[in-house]
Structure 1
Amino acid sequence: MTFSSHARTFAGRPVVDVPADGPLPEVPGPVSWRFSYWHFDETAEYKLSEEFRAAFDRFVAQAGPSVESLVIGAWGYAAFNHAPVAQLCELASRLPALRALFLGDMTSEECEVSWMKVGDVSPLLAAYPALEVLRVRGGDDIAFSPVRHERLRELAVESGGLPREFVAAVLDSELPALTDLELWLGTPDYGGDTAVPDLGPLLAGERFPRLRRLGLRNAEIADDLAAALATAPVVARLERLDLSLGTLGDAGAAALLAGGSLAHLAELDLHHHYLSDETAASVVAALPGVRVDASEAQEADEYDGESYRYTAVSE
């Protein structure tokens, strides 16, 4: 799977595109405005696109005080141009109502996720102390620094490979309101070198006391994660657990069930997995009160006597 379409909803609102020129369209209620400015300049230096900067500034001048939810798509060509983190921070006083931000809503045709130059996204939290939802997509030089933020409820990071330094900085952050954490761990081929021990404070329940949904998605180490989660203290206070988009196999599912700690969940998401039909059915049968999504079964590739499983998103 690659990203083949743009988000249709974000933060519980329909996404409406900002037109290239002219007034904003009339909308029937609260929306997430999507701003995108794609252009390719092979001579560009690795910096913010000046064309994006000017166009986005015009949008903020037009609608800034009323924007509550914002989706940022292409920022020039994201393999060459850096994400507009600094510009968003500079414009914080002109976006006083912003409560939800999605940075990086691009298809693979606009830019492969592993090529997207994002940088350190934590300054966004310092610039927007009232932000409640932050979703980021990217891969190249994506980074985070430990931060304290009183209002953030949802943090999601979509990547084909999330470095352990990024994960460590998230876990070192003070996010007392956080209820929903989603990390796409990816594969080492694209920088995803996070291992189960790196998640120790999270799995032990020592971080984020209000956490109710945990997504460790798109993970090549899905079997290891499942085995660790089987007895992890954090699971007891979760309502939803998401191990989707990864390489979960029969051994991981068996270990997860053996822990006996999932029956209280409202939802267990395993879609895009490598379970046999029998194992998938056994998971559903073992958790009759849980909404289990075991759809999108994958077949491992066999080559020269070796079996290969793939995450849904890498490049």
Structure 2
Amino acid sequence: MINSHVSSFAGLPETPFTPGMVLPEDPSAVAWRLEVEDFDADPGEFADLVAAFREAVPGEAVRAVVVGEWGDAYERELPVDLLVDAAAEWTGLRAVFLADLVSEQCEISWLTLPDITGLLTAYPTLEVLWVRGGNGLRLSPVRHTGLRELCFESGGLPGAVVRAVGESELPALEQLVFWLGRSDYGATTGVDELAPVLTGAGLPALRHLGLCNSEIVNAITPMVADAPVVARLEVLDLSMGVLADEGLDALLGGQSLTHLRRLDLHHHYLSDEAQQRVVAALPGVDVDLSEAREVEVYSGREYRFTAVGE
């Protein structure tokens, strides 16, 4: 999940770029990793690496870019402007992963992200965008006709980002995943922020929706149960959160979910009876109930935890 770097991205094997390296025979057949492996790296080091990459690799051959460590990710925003500046050259870029860092480099809730709106406007043919981290992350509503897959991995996602996606026009988007996270790690998403997403008005092609890693999953399942977008989904993912029996009751009490191909509920707090009930209610649907969790009790209080926080 987030304990190791990706070895491939967008169907391409990952290859770290180092200045002076011998390029692959086909530089378009790899996902290029751009990373300065030094927490204390000067801001200019990552800029120099990107400049060297642009000089060495033909721009039209750049299909996928994975941004790793850029130096002091706790305090310094990921310099997405360096990718935006290359847009005129990277005409074939189809996939970007921002901030593929593991906890040894920077905890996910500490990763400092910028406004990513400019990246989408600079690359209208971008098809895949993954973003890890939520600290400082901003996004304005956009119209983007190329994007097919959008994923936000976070221990605490700003609600304004979720709302901006819901207010965007993304006619080709098939897969949308939010790790909503916890309020003590920066999550500010509530039912109001999710409402535009759940109408599906700007997401006519959506077939896979993930509202994952959420401490408010039991509060949002009543909305999900009657959401217009759910009727056209193939995959509904409510995994990694604190789903309990009352949340499941609300979900099953709404529209029929038997049209789904998969319902992902892994990492949950459901009773045995509730688990049996959801399977019986959805014959033919692949229901993932793995990683059942036990409520933890401290000083007489019950606690449930999302899969990813700090």
TM-score relative to the length of structure 1: 0.92
Matches within 5 A, 1:225-240: 225-240=220-235
Alignment pair present for 1:304 and 2:299: yes
Alignment pair present for 1:117 and 2:112: yes
Change beyond 3 A, Cα 1:281–1:115:
same
Q: Which runs of 5+ in 2 are unaligned?
A: none
Deviation string, structure 1 residues 99-119 (Cα, Å, up to 9, x no partner)? 011111110111111111111
Q: Give the secondary structure class of the aligned counterpart of 1:93.
A: coil
The aligned residue for residue 11 of structure 2 is 12
2:29 maps to amino acid: P
The aligned residue for residue 61 of structure 1 is 55
The aligned residue for residue 46 of structure 2 is 52
The aligned residue for residue 201 of structure 1 is 196
Deviation string, structure 1 residues 56-114 (Cα, Å, up to 9, x no partner)? 22122222321111111111221133212111000112211100111111101111111
Aligned partners of 1:108, 1:20: CA distance in 2, in Å? Answer: 26
Deviation string, structure 1 residues 265-291 (Cα, Å, up to 9, x no partner)? 011111111122332233223222111
Change beyond 3 A, Cα 1:174–1:309:
same
Aligned partners of 2:22, 2:271: CA distance in 1, in Å? Answer: 53
Deviation string, structure 1 residues 183-221 (Cα, Å, up to 9, x no partner)? 111111122111123212222333311111111111111
The aligned residue for residue 22 of structure 2 is 23
2:37 maps to amino acid: W
Aligned partners of 2:262, 2:13: CA distance in 1, in Å? Answer: 24
1:55 maps to amino acid: L
Aligned partners of 1:28, 1:20: CA distance in 2, in Å? Answer: 14
Q: Give the secondary structure class of the aligned counterpart of 1:55.
A: helix
The aligned residue for residue 176 of structure 1 is 171
Q: CA deviation at 1:19?
A: 4.3
Kept in 1: contact 2:221–2:248 (CA 8 A): yes
Change beyond 3 A, Cα 1:284–1:9:
farther
Change beyond 3 A, Cα 1:275–1:15:
farther
Aligned residues: 309
The aligned residue for residue 76 of structure 2 is 81
Q: CA deviation at 1:158?
A: 1.1
- Which moved further from structure 2: 60-69 or 154-163? 60-69
Q: CA deviation at 1:12?
A: 2.7
Change beyond 3 A, Cα 1:287–1:8:
farther
Change beyond 3 A, Cα 1:20–1:6:
farther
The aligned residue for residue 242 of structure 2 is 247
Task: Name the % identity.
Answer: 51
Deviation string, structure 1 residues 220-257 (Cα, Å, up to 9, x no partner)? 11112222211222110111111111111121122212
1:283 maps to amino acid: V
Aligned partners of 1:41, 1:300: CA distance in 2, in Å? Answer: 40
2:293 maps to amino acid: Q
Aligned partners of 1:262, 1:50: CA distance in 2, in Å? Answer: 52
TM-score relative to the length of structure 2: 0.93
Q: Which runs of 5+ in 1 are unaligned?
A: none
Kept in 1: contact 2:27–2:61 (CA 8 A): no
